């Protein structure tokens, strides 16, 4: 990625992370519940058997209750996990209980990685994607490590859904050639269906 693009992304990261970090935890929880209400009404979610959530970190849209609900509905829940920090590889690993996500990589919870719990991308029906900011083209700015974008390379756009508070949506994100869009973004106020070019 060129220096100009990286510098623009850093600005977006700084601005939107500051904004997101100011959200009151009680409000964040209420907004997250509103987002999940919208998710549960999606036919693709109702039909989905294997769903990938992220384990929320910091001021991200809170996913713990979503995961607990999906497990109660007997969906297979998988979450991102990193084996070797720094190698750029992320895996999808089954999570049977939230309490099993006790390991921390970059401060983010994850379960232990065992080969029998790894799930291939083509077995996953829906992927919920975190982000610091999203735009109307479905592009996102994350923490800058690139794990999610590399992993999303094997997932069809329709399966990827960004979760964000409504103030995290901007007109246009700086995007590089390796950045991949999501097919839909869900906020507490609306569902943004990304138009295909």
Q: What is the pLDDT of residues 111-155, one digit of tens each?
A: 999 999 999 999 999 999 999 999 999 999 998 888 888 899 989
Q: What pLDDT is attached to residue 1?
A: 55
Tell me how far apart the alpha carbons of residues 90 and 118 are, in angstroms, rounded to a whole number: 11
The beta-carbon contacts of 142-148 under 8 Å, at least 24 apart in sequence, are: 143/13, 143/106, 144/9, 144/10, 144/13, 145/88, 145/106, 146/88, 146/178, 147/80, 147/82, 147/88, 147/89, 147/90, 148/80, 148/90
Q: What pLDDT is attached to residue 176?
A: 82
* Mean model confidence pLDDT for the chain: 93
Tell me how far apart the alpha carbons of residues 29 and 61 are, in angstroms, rounded to a whole number: 8
Q: How far apart are the first and last CA of the chain?
A: 23
What's the pTM?
0.94
Low-confidence ranges of the chain (pLDDT < 50): none
Stretch (H or E) spanning 148:
helix 147-152
Q: What pLDDT is attached to residue 84?
A: 85
Tokens representing residue 72 in the block = 């109660």
The alpha-helical segments, DSSP class H, found in 49-146 are 64-72
């Amino acid at each position: 990625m060129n220096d100009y693009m990286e510098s623009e992304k850093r600005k977006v990261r700084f601005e939107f992370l500051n904004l997101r970090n100011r959200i009151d935890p009680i409000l964040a929880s209420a907004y997250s519940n509103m987002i999940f209400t919208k998710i549960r009404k999606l036919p693709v979610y109702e039909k989905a058997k294997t769903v990938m959530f992220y384990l929320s970190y910091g001021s991200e849209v809170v996913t713990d209750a979503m995961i607990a609900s999906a497990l109660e509905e007997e969906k297979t829940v998988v979450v991102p996990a990193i084996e070797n920090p720094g190698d750029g590889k992320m895996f999808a690993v089954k999570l049977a209980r939230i309490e099993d996500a006790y390991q921390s990589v970059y401060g983010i919870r994850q379960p232990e990685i065992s080969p029998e719990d790894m799930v291939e991308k083509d077995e996953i029906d829906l992927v919920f994607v975190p982000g610091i900011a999203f735009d109307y083209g479905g592009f996102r700015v994350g923490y800058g490590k690139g794990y999610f974008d590399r992993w999303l390379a094997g997932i069809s756009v329709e399966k990827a859904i960004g979760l964000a508070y409504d103030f995290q949506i901007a007109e246009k994100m700086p995007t590089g050639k390796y950045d991949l869009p999501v097919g839909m973004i869900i906020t507490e106020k609306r569902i943004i269906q990304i138009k295909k070019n």
